[in-house]
Amino acid sequence: MVYWNPIEVMPVDELKALQLKQLKMLVYKLYTFSPFYRQKMKDAGVTPEDVQTLKDVGKLPFMVKKDLRDGYPDKLFLATSREVVRYHASSGTTGKPTIVGYTQNDIEGWSESVARGLVSAGVGTDDVLQVCYTYGLFSGGLGLHYGAEKVGAAVVPASTGNTERQIDLVQDLGVTVIAATPSYLLHMGEVAAKMGVDLKKDTKLRLGILGAEPWSQRMRDRIYEQLGIKAVDIYGTSELSGPLWSECGDQNGIHVWADMTLIEVVDPNTGEPVPIGEKGELVVTMLQKEAFPIIRYRTGDITTMHEEVCTCGRTHPRIGRIQGRVDDMIIIRGINVFPSQVEHSLMTNPEVGNEFQIVVDRKGALDTMLVRVELRPEAFGDRVFELDAIKDRITHKLRGSLNVGVNVEIVEPGSLPRFEGKAKRVVDKRVY
């Protein structure tokens, strides 16, 4: 078995001792240098001395998306701009995104994490790896890029879109590994078929690093049968750095590197840890991040945790497939979208009312998102081109703030459902 780093097979008790040391150092550091987290600890009545065992992590306060949003742009940073070497941005729940910063060591740790995962799935220096995640402020593209480059694979930074050209590159450059969302990979298979290219027979593709959206075992099997590609799951979020952890070749769950991370799975209602192996909300503490420390961050993702040593020999804990969200966030073509973001953008248009509906579906392999919004009677004029212009304006604003290709439909006032309690804004017609 090939390991990127021998620490991947460190005996469990040594790993846990290392984690405890990292945790204590992190807590002292934050208590001393982070006004935000020191205040949170004081409010919770906790001091660094209270953390003496790994279990004591439960005494520490959680960090939530709201903290990150309120900290815009860099109030939670522990590094100055001189030390920061990269910024990434992730979806906010309203108008503003969350900004994450990285020092050189943070980039190094992030790349190391991804590299370990890639090697555990069998990626090596002979591989040609095409990155089809978005490059830019979104952390997906660059995260895979730096990890794959570190391993020594030949990286093709394709990003998203221009699928026909991507298929040409896959053939002409002898691409063996592809990193993409599962729906994009299936879409690529469809486009290739139209071009007369069989991804199974006409390319060297053998491995897929697939994530950023939920996908099932059924999809995994379909990808293997139709495209000849063995697919492993990858997970991460920008708040934690970006894509971080992936499945080894035994496809037994995602390895979460314990020397860099402490994970918990808690009951989303009580915050208490659930018995090992049971599902709950993933809570993450990043033990070594410098610029943007994350401690007990509630990811909102529902999963299970497993501590047995994997069949591959790695001793670090694993998490199972993400099974859902605790909130109303949806994922469209790998991009996180909160209904509250949609609401925030829609309300800047005086021509539409307060009610809206999001209809999500899948055309072929790709997700579609339709936002239906009610026209205000005062905004109705007899001129069709003015109504078209209103629709275009709404669409343009939405696309700009969500970074997703969304369509808009104007409907009559009173035609959308009203809700007594919590509004159910999303109709999701997708079947995985």
Partner 1 sequence: MSEVGKYRIKQLSIFSENRPNRLGAVAKVLKEGKINILGFSIAEGAGYGVIRVLVDRPEIARDLLTKEGFVVKFTEVLAIQMEDRPGGLFDLTDHMKDINIEYGYGYRNPPYAVLIVRVEDIEKGIEQLLAGGLKLLDGTTFH
Tokens of 152: 């020594």
Question: Least distance in Å: CB of 410 to partner 1?
Answer: 6
From 18, 22, 31, select the one nearest 60 (Cα to Cα): 31
Question: Least distance in Å: CB of 235 to partner 1?
Answer: 37
134 DSSP assignment? P
Question: Least distance in Å: CB of 368 to partner 1?
Answer: 14
**How many CB atoms lie under 10 A from the CB of residue 13?**
9
Question: Least distance in Å: CB of 106 to partner 1?
Answer: 46
CA 183 to chain centre: 15
Task: Please give the Cα distance from 411 to 346 (Å, whole number).
Answer: 14
Q: Using the structure block, give the residue that is written with the tokens 């709950």.
A: 280
Q: Which is nearer to partner 1, 334 or 353 (CB)?
A: 353
Binding residues for partner 1 (CB under 8 A): 375, 377, 380-384, 387-388, 391, 409-415
Question: Least distance in Å: CB of 429 to partner 1?
Answer: 18
First to last CA, the chain: 33
Q: Which is nearer to partner 1, 36 or 380 (CB)?
A: 380
Q: Give the pairing type, strands 98-103 and 84-90.
A: antiparallel
Q: Which is nearer to partner 1, 193 or 427 (CB)?
A: 427
Question: Least distance in Å: CB of 405 to partner 1?
Answer: 16
Q: Which is nearer to partner 1, 11 or 381 (CB)?
A: 381
The Cα-based distances of 284 to 31, 149, 237, 243, 294 in angstroms read 18, 26, 11, 14, 8
Whether a cis peptide bond, with omega within 30° of 0, leads into 417 is: no
Q: Which is nearer to partner 1, 275 or 377 (CB)?
A: 377
Task: Determine contact, residues 248/234, Cβ cutoff 8 Å.
Answer: no
**How many CB atoms lie under 10 A from the CB of residue 225?**
10
Q: Which is nearer to partner 1, 201 or 383 (CB)?
A: 383
Whether a cis peptide bond, with omega within 30° of 0, leads into 214 is: no
Q: Which is nearer to partner 1, 2 or 384 (CB)?
A: 384
Q: Which is nearer to partner 1, 107 or 410 (CB)?
A: 410
The Cα-based distances of 90 to 65, 85, 138, 401 in angstroms read 11, 17, 6, 11
Task: Please give the Cα distance from 7 to 85 (Å, whole number).
Answer: 27
Tokens of 321: 């497939």
Question: Least distance in Å: CB of 264 to partner 1?
Answer: 47
Question: Least distance in Å: CB of 385 to partner 1?
Answer: 8
Task: Please give the Cα distance from 253 to 231 (Å, whole number).
Answer: 12
CA 116 to chain centre: 18
